[in-house]
């Protein structure tokens, strides 16, 4: 069973990516991660590290603290 925090985080990544009109590939490029990694995060298949949370948040132009508001 997927952990709730991973599901919520993945949903937030997807929402913020869509808000910016980015594809998963574009976000991955901005964050310096592999394109399939973004999809795995959004589907709650990966337990993302703090380092990668920082990369993704910077790529989405959102603070790390804002990422976790409402989660």
For the chain, list the domains and their CATH numbers: 4-58 (1.10.260.40)
Sequential DSSP letters for 14-68 = HHHHHHTT--HHHHHHHHTS-HHHHHHHHTT-S---HHHHHHHHHHTT--HHHHH
What are the pLDDT digits (tens) for 2-49? Answer: 699 999 999 999 999 999 999 999 999 999 999 999 999 999 999 999
- Burial of 60 (C-beta count, 10 Å sphere; 0-12/13-18/19+): buried
> pTM (2 decimals)?
0.90
Residue pointed to by tokens 């603070």: 63
């Amino acid at each position: 069973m997927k952990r709730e925090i991973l599901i919520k985080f993945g949903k937030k990544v997807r929402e913020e990516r869509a808000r910016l009109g980015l594809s998963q590939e574009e976000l991955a490029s901005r964050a310096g991660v592999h394109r399939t990694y973004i999809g795995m995060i959004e589907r709650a298949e990966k337990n993302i590290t703090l380092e990668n949370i920082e990369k993704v948040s910077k790529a989405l132009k959102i603070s790390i603290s804002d990422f976790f508001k409402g989660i």
